Amino acid sequence: EDDLHILQSLSSSDHKFPQLLEQLMVDLHHHMKHEKDEDLPRLEATLPERESNKISLSFARTKQTVPTERHP
């Protein structure tokens, strides 16, 4: 989180920018992999099937309405 704040304060021409961005991407990839491989399967194992289906449907509907492009 601190690195993200630092990155946001830097100009893209700053010599620190590319290295910090790369590190943030590596950290994000590890975080997403952990969620996919560990957190979500553990959640799926504890949720009743009906609740899991309800959440899946809600997520699918949300994905259809959330913008995919960043807006200023």
Structural domain that includes position 42 = 2-30+38-64
Q: What is the 3-state secondary structure (H, E, C) of the chain?
A: CHHHHHHHHCCCCCCCHHHHHHHHHHHHHHHHHHHHHHHHHHHHHHCCHHHHHHHHHHHHHHHHHCCCCCCC
Q: What pLDDT score does 1 carry?
A: 73
Number of domains forming the structure of the chain = 1
Confirm whether 71 is domain-assigned: no
Return per-residue pLDDT of the chain as tens, 72 residues: 788 999 999 999 999 999 999 999 999 999 999 999 999 999 999 999 999 999 999 999 998 888 777 766
Confirm whether 69 is domain-assigned: no
Nearest to 3 by CA among 36, 16, 13, 33: 16
Confirm whether 10 is domain-assigned: yes
Q: What pLDDT score does 71 carry?
A: 63
Confirm whether 72 is domain-assigned: no
Angle between helices 2-9 and 17-34 (to 10 degrees): 150
Confirm whether 13 is domain-assigned: yes
